[in-house]
Structures are given as structure tokens and as C-alpha cells.
Structure 1
Amino acid sequence: MTQTLHIDPEFKAQIPPLTQDERKQLEENILAEGELLAPILVWNGTIVDGHNRYEILQSHPEIPCIVRNLELETRDEVLVWICKHQLGRRNLTPEQKKFLVGKQYDAEKQDGFHGNQHTLPVRSADAQNEHQQTSEKTCERIARENHISASAVRRAALFAAGVDLAEELCPGIRQRVLSGDLKAPDALFERLAKARPEDYDALLEQIKNPQSRAKPAAKQKPFQPEKSSLSDPSLAPPPGESNPAHKETSSIYNQLADAAVAMQESWETIFKQTPTLLTSWEQRKAVQAILEKHLAYLAALGFSLSEVLGSEQEQSA
């Protein structure tokens, strides 16, 4: 007889769902073995890992339900455990990995979370290393564990918050995003997480229909910054007064920034999936040719990489 366990929606939401083929294969494996090869992990009677195995057992009560309790103290520790456990999987989509990193960071930042032997890195016997671990910031440690930057961890937290908010506004969208079925720029979710309630609908519409954002832009006249109030001080509005042209230009800047972030994230995803693009000489040569076309396009617009690097150096001086 199957043991009655509780399902927490938030715990379950952190676990990437199985595809139909994966779920079918899991059920076939359980039936072939006649038992669970991996126990269902629980915390205070609530499932932490093994939701799919538990659901399959509901249809096969003849198979015993094997359960193992996790010795975790708080709910935040459970969330951290789930995220770290799932991040160990190899078949995560880029969206799933970013979501889990963000959720782990958010859970570890909550007041009262101190971790335990299940959630903290193993301490080194070397006192200097131990001191380095304790002085290391949470985002820096998570970044080190996942081979990304600390800023990427903070952005992942915004992305995760945006995905969760999108799920509240439009139930079912989280699974589409994390599975890769809905391809919306990560920057949109970051903006949604920081947006005001009155802006939710517009951002959600862009997330649900990412292709529609590019069509109007293609029909717009080329952006001419020399006609903008931002480039001509004499046309700038007095302090405290708004200017429609200023708002329109700011909107265009946001579109350009979103497009740049989307391109960068697409490149990073491709390089992660095919690392030989950066290590093979012939493949690097092909990538270089593609990049040169992009630089030629920027040059045709009047931008040069040397000028950009020069302005950055001046600002940092």
C-alpha cells in the first residue's frame, strides 16, 4: 500500500518536469524492477525529491513505497537542497539552470538560513581555507560552484523572480519557459521582476509573444540619435518636466539593450552546447568570420570597437 505523502507546490515547482517519454521510461523501469531503486526523499512528511515516482506508485499500489527522511531544519534549507540537487543533473536546459541558481540564491539570502551538513560546502581542514569560505559572499560561492560570475547569480535571482511572477499572472507559463518551449529574452523576466504592477500586462504580452516585438521594430524608421533631445542639450526638458520624445527615446534604448542581451545569451548558450567552437582552430575561424560580419554591420552604422574601448578606458581612468 502506498504511503500517503504531502506535495508542496513550491517544492515541486523547483524540479524540472519530465517529458512524456522520460515519464513513460521511468514507469517501465519501476514495473520491470518491481520496486523503487531510488527512495522518495521527504521532509516532515512532504516530498522533496521523487514526485514522479510517487505519482506512478499511485497507479501501482502493489509496489512498496520506499521513503527516506532528510534531516533539514528549515523550509529555506529544503529549497536550497532541492536547487543544488537538481543543478547536479546533466540534462537541464539553460533556462532551468538559471532558474535554479536564482532560487538557490534567494533561499540562502532569507533571514535565519545558516545551512547544515546537507547544504553547506564541506569544510577544509586548513584554517585559511575555512576562513576564506566564511568570508565569501553567498553570490560569490554560488557563482564558484556553478562556474559563472557573481553578477550572473544576481541576474539569475531576478530571472527566477520574474518567471515566478509570470506564472502567477499566467499559470502554466513557467513550465513552457523552463522547458524551452517559449523562447523569450531573459531580460524581459528581469524587467518584470522589477516592474510596477501597471506595467505587468505589457511585459507579459511581450514574454508570451516574443516574435511580435521584432516586427514593429522592423517597420520603424532608422533611429537617428542626432535628432534626439538627449543628444542636443538645447532640446532637453527643464528639470521636473517630462518630454514625450525623451520617453520614446528611452523606450528605444531599452529595445536595443534587450536585443543586445538576447544576442549575448544566445551566443553563450551555443558555446556551452558546442564548446569546440572555442577550442577547434577551424571552428574558431568560422566563428571569427561570423563576428567580422557583425562588426562590419556596426561599422556601417558608424560605430567602431576601438572607439567603444577607448571611451570605457577614459571612464575608468
Structure 2
Amino acid sequence: MAKDFMSGIKKATAQLPGSAFSEVEKIKKQLIILEELRQFITPLTTDELAMLEANILSQGCKDPLAVWETTRKVAGLDDSEEVAYVLIDGHNRYTICEKYTIDFKIVLLKFDDLEKVKDYMIDFQLGRRNLSPEQLSFFRGLRYNREKGRKGKYDREEGGIDISKQLADEYKVSQRTIKNDGNFAKGISKFSPELRQQVLAGNAALKKTTIQELGKREDVAEGAFQSFESLSEPSKTESSPFLEELAQRKKEVARIATNMVSKSDYALLVQKVKELKKYL
């Protein structure tokens, strides 16, 4: 009877046009890694990566990898409407599993666009308990900069929400900390992807304040620094176009505030203060 039962199962399975299992296996072979999303993944130290590899080798890959089910056009790959499966969480596990041919599970998620994926990845990282202080600062800064970018150039829109205060209340820190986080995240973006990972993994001997100051500089493009040696910390007596511009704008604000006598002077002061904010 057992033989008849197994025979029936095999016959029924053979008649299926394609099982869910085979579909999942097909998806796993089509996973796409977007370099644009790597900055939203917490980098591991050498020891952490070795420990993860040892755990997967001994116990298998227990946690499923998160995959964005979308199209190549929405993912920004090309203009094709072909279905695409983009890895959005589990990059380190995926690399290890591919290296040793270890099976893994996936969970499919759907988002309207790439920006929603980035928001999800930032929130997911901020929900982790093992972030280093630098990593926590970086992801808070990313969220602050993105939300501020949606509201406009400045932190507070007239009649709107003060984003730094909102996030400061949420994360139980000061508004100044949130703004510093924003500059830190901007500073990280000035490095190449490889250097960003080294900084966030704690493998770079750079002061956090140095990176924050770098984030304030609008004359440095994203990914401009390909090595840490190319970033020399300026001495206190060394001048730069950025510092000179900052000093000049502060003097201008002080001059207007000192000599303010009319409503037009007040309006000009408000404008100059707003312009000064991007340097602070």
C-alpha cells in the first residue's frame, strides 16, 4: 500500500506544470545585486564575517534572504518590463551560500519603486540592535537627509514639520546630533563604495568630525575620494574656499542683524540665515 501511495504522489507531481519549489529555485538563480543598494547594508568586520561563515557552514542558512520582486525598468536596470528579483537583505549570507553551494530560503517583497526600497532598508538597519555608534549615526543621517530632501532644501518648511526634532524625539537624541548625523552620512558618500564599507566596518582611522566636515563641503562630489591618503585633515591655521565662504557669510549675517532697522532688513536677515544653514 505504501508503494501505491508513493507511486501516486510521483505521478501527481509529474503532472504539475511547475511546482512552487521549482519556481523558487529559478528565482534564486536570477537574483540581482544592485551596487546602488550596497550602502544600505551594514558592513561586517573581518571577525563578524568569519563568525557568520562558520555558523552557516555548521548550521546552514536559517534566516531567509529578502528579495524585491519588480521589473527591470522599475529597478533602473533597463527599459524592459521583464520581471526582476533584486536582493535587498542578506548580501553576506548570499555570498557565503554561493561560495559553498549552500541552500537558502527567500522571502519576496514588493515596493512601488527604488526609493521605497531604500527607505525600507534604512528602517530595517535602524531596527538592528548590534549597530556600532558610527553605523547608527550613518543610518540616522541617511534617513534625515532623505526626509529633508523630500520636504525641501531646509530642515523646516514654513508651516511644516521640523524633521530634525521629529527624528531627535524618535531616537532619543538631540537635534544637533541628528544634524551631525546628516553631515556624517554626506561625508561617507564622498568616499568610494569600498572605502565607505571600511569606514562603517570600523577599519579606517578617521575622526568622525573629519567626515562630518567633509559632508558640509559642496565642492566635493560623491565618490571623489578613492583612498584615505587623499584626504588630509586641514590644520587649524590652514584656510580653504569653504571655510572662507563660511566666515564671510557669518560676518554678513552679523552685520545685517546689528544694523537692522526695517522689515526689509529683517526679511534679508531671514534669507541670509537660510543660506548660511547649508554651511553648518
TM-score category (smaller protein): 0.5 to 0.7
2:118 matches 1:92: no
Q: 2: CA distance between counterparts of 1:88 and 1:198?
A: 31
Residue number in structure 2 paired with 1:139: 164
The CA RMSD over aligned residues, in Å, is 3.7
The SS at the match of 2:29 is coil
Residue number in structure 1 paired with 2:49: 23
Identify if the C-alpha distance between structure 1 residues 43 and 138 changes in structure 2 by more than 3 Å, giving closer, same or farther: farther
Using the TM superposition, give the Cα deviation of residue 186 of structure 1 relative to its aligned residue in structure 2, in angstroms. Answer: 3.2
Q: 2: CA distance between counterparts of 1:198 and 1:144?
A: 31
Residue number in structure 2 paired with 1:60: 100
Contact 2:141 2:182 in 1 (8 A): yes
Using the TM superposition, give the Cα deviation of residue 47 of structure 1 relative to its aligned residue in structure 2, in angstroms. Answer: 1.2
Contact 2:190 2:221 in 1 (8 A): no
Q: Deviations over 1:71-94 (max 9, x none)?
A: 332322222221222122233222
2:234 matches 1:191: no
The gaps in structure 1 that reach 5 residues or longer are 113-134, 221-245, 255-317
What amino acid sits opposite 1:193 in the alignment? G
Using the TM superposition, give the Cα deviation of residue 199 of structure 1 relative to its aligned residue in structure 2, in angstroms. Answer: 10
Contact 1:102 1:157 in 2 (8 A): yes
Using the TM superposition, give the Cα deviation of residue 18 of structure 1 relative to its aligned residue in structure 2, in angstroms. Answer: 1.5
2:187 matches 1:162: yes
Contact 1:163 1:174 in 2 (8 A): yes
Residue number in structure 2 paired with 1:50: 90
Residue number in structure 1 paired with 2:257: none
Contact 1:41 1:49 in 2 (8 A): yes
Identity of aligned residues (%): 30
The SS at the match of 1:69 is strand
Residue number in structure 1 paired with 2:200: 178
Q: 1: CA distance between counterparts of 2:123 and 2:218?
A: 31
2:43 matches 1:38: no
The gaps in structure 2 that reach 5 residues or longer are 1-24, 70-84, 152-159, 248-280
Q: 2: CA distance between counterparts of 1:52 and 1:199?
A: 28
Q: Deviations over 1:12-63 (max 9, x none)?
A: 22222122322222222223234x31110111311111001111121233x3
TM-score norm. by structure 1 comes to: 0.51
Using the TM superposition, give the Cα deviation of residue 182 of structure 1 relative to its aligned residue in structure 2, in angstroms. Answer: 2.5
Number of residue pairs the alignment of both structures matches: 194
Matches within 5 A, 1:2-21: 2-21=28-47
Q: Which has more helix, going by share of residues? A: 1
TM-score norm. by structure 2 comes to: 0.57
